């Protein structure tokens, strides 16, 4: 069976609806309330990031994706620095990750060792 060559990004309003998303490589989703809260908290701490967030959240240019670590060749134990290098070589900027239990981590320390599993998601930035 041939897989589609495109992906769909869905914005969810309620975290409890995550179970409605089929876990395959063709649908990425963002829980709007969680992401908005994280962005607002970051802006409150660092107002100088307003231009960066304007770029990220606009309908043009760079976009945030949640990607399978298997497709990005990032399964296993790596430091955050190593993951950033691997993803940068593929044209992505590593922002963080989400574990299978929906725990998010944004901008982890470069020397932190992550044990990335198939069920995790990589949060990345890329222009497509």
The pLDDT tens digits of the residues spanning 92-105 come to: 999 999 998 888 89
Domain ranges in the chain? 8-127
**What distance in Å separates the CA atoms of residue 71 and residue 124, rounded to the nearest whole number?**
13
Query: Among 1-15, 34-48, 108-122, which is the least confidently predicted range?
Result: 1-15
Q: pTM for the whole thing? A: 0.58
For residue 1, how many C-alpha atoms fall within 13 Å in the half-sphere facing its CB? 2
Share of the chain above pLDDT 90, in %: 40
């Amino acid at each position: 069976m041939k897989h589609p060559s495109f992906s769909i990004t869905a914005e969810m309003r309620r975290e409890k609806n995550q179970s409605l998303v089929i876990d395959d490589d063709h649908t990425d989703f963002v829980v709007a309330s969680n992401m908005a809260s994280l962005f607002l908290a970051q802006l409150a701490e660092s107002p100088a990031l307003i231009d960066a967030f304007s770029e990220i959240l606009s309908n043009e240019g760079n976009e945030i994706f949640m990607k399978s670590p298997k497709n990005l060749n990032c399964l296993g134990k790596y430091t955050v620095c190593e993951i950033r290098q691997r993803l940068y070589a593929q044209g992505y900027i590593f922002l963080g990750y989400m574990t299978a239990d929906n725990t998010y981590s944004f901008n982890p320390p470069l020397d932190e060792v992550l044990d990335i599993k198939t069920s995790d998601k990589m949060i990345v930035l890329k222009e497509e």
